[in-house]
Amino acid sequence: MCHGFLLGVWFCNSKSNILNRFVHNKFEHDMKATVGVEFYSTKVTIENGTQVGLRLWDTAGQERYRAITKSYYRGSVGAIIVYDITNRVSFSHVEMWLEEVKQNTDSNCQIILVGNKSDLSDERQVFAREGKIFARDKNVLLLEVSALDSSGIETLFQRISQMVYEKDW
């Protein structure tokens, strides 16, 4: 049996490569910024062997597209909010994105906070402890991944899918 979910992915210039790595197993060093919204569909198998169909979208993070992207929040059962561990400014915007997701989705929407570029730990500006404290205080799960070397990418989508599935959507 296959279940379908609608997941949104928000924020940071590295989020598109996370999706590209997960859906197509590719990484593009010169990936262009998302304009509006890009859609992806794929499947993932969760812990009990159930195959879950995912409808994913990648929303533009730029302010000028916010009015367009807000309409895509409705119906989301899961959200992935991404920041770049090598960019403190990206982390400073996470709270705003988290509030926007919470205001525009159902209260049962499952959220994972993702620190991308874990392969660049020597260039880290946002330490894992900071992310963990923030995630704990906001009651969300935190994972660190690397779209470049693909570490944590499969786990990320399996975890969000498992979380959503367990909420009996």
**Enclosing domain of residue 161:** 2-166
The answer to whether residues 103 and 1 touch, using CB atoms and an 8 Å cutoff, is no
Q: What is the pLDDT of residues 75-86, one digit of tens each?
A: 788 888 899 999
- Judged against a pLDDT cut of 50, whether residue 11 lies above it is answered with no
Could you give the number of structural domains in the chain?
1
- In angstroms, the CA 92 to CA 84 distance is 10
What would the two tokens of residue 55 be? 């409808």
Taking the C-alpha atoms of residue 79 and residue 54, their distance in angstroms, rounded to an integer, is: 12
For 35, how many CA atoms within 13 A lie in the half-sphere containing its CB? 1
DSSP secondary structure of the chain:
-EEEEEEEEESSTTHHHHHHHHHHS---TTPPPP-SEEEEEEEEE-TTS-EEEEEEEEE--SGGGHHHHHTTTTT-SEEEEEEETT-HHHHHTHHHHHHHHHHHS-TT-EEEEEEE-GGGGGG-SS-HHHHHHHHHHHT-EEEE--TTT-TTHHHHHHHHHHHHHHTT-
What is the model's pLDDT at position 55?
82
Q: What is the pLDDT of residue 8?
A: 55
The per-residue pLDDT for range 108-130, each reduced to its tens digit, is 889 999 999 999 999 999 999 99
**CATH number assigned to the domain comprising residue 82:** 3.40.50.300
Question: Which pLDDT does position 2 carry in this prediction?
Answer: 43
pTM (two decimals): 0.85
Q: Say which range, 32-41, 74-83, 95-104, 146-155, has the weakest mean pLDDT.
A: 32-41
User: Cα–Cα distance between 1 and 119 in angstroms, integer?
Assistant: 36
CA–CA separation, 163 and 20 (whole Å): 22
- On whether the CB atoms of residues 156 and 125 are closer than 8 A, the answer is no
| 19-76 confidence digits (pLDDT tens) | 889 988 988 876 555 545 677 888 889 898 988 888 887 765 545 445 555 666 777 8
Q: How far is the C-alpha of 132 from the C-alpha of 134, rounded, in Å?
A: 5
